[in-house]
Amino acid sequence: MKYFIDTHDKAKGSFPAEDITDGEFIRLYQKFEKALEEVGGADLGAHVNVNTRKAFCLTKGPDSDAIRRAHEKLDLPFDSITEVRRVTGVDLRPELDWCFANGMESRYSQKYAVAPMPLSRYEDAGFFF
């Protein structure tokens, strides 16, 4: 599965009705979740501000075309659909790669107060793609 962010903005004509409430947005988003499932995708959450009429939706699916089809099922316009990958604080710590490469997981764990975990577990948890 690939990850995508799609954007909606009133200024660009891609946010739902002018007077949408939080509750109405949530109901619309629930329909979007079902549409995603129908095209082989899934919802991972959205960041929305109904007052400024902007939304950023995080989804996963086989390709951007599947995400586009889910929008079309609801006649829901969008500005863009962008394939993304997840980067976390763990990815931004160069010592992590060094510790794993040198068999020193416990050193990293002590420094950052986390339990040691084999690299494969980090991959399973979605830290690396």
Is residue 101 domain-shared with residue 74, that is, in the same domain? Answer: no
Closest CA to 88 of 96, 78, 80, 79: 96
CA distance 93 to 96: 6
Ramachandran sector of residue 32 (left: φ over 0; alpha: ψ -120 to 50; beta: rest): alpha
Tens-digit pLDDT profile for residues 60-108: 999 999 999 999 999 999 999 999 987 776 666 666 666 666 665 555 4
Please tell me whether residues 71 and 24 are part of one structural domain.
yes
Q: Using the predicted structure, report yes or no on whether residue 57 has a pLDDT greater than 70.
A: yes
Domain that holds residue 32: 2-84
Is 108 found in the same domain as 70? no
- Residues 99, 76 share a domain: no
Question: Is 129 part of any domain?
Answer: no
**Do 77 and 103 sit in the same domain of this protein?**
no
Domain count along the chain: 2
**Region 2-30: what's the mean pLDDT?**
90
CB 111 within 8 A of CB 94: no
- How is residue 111 written in tokens? 């420094």
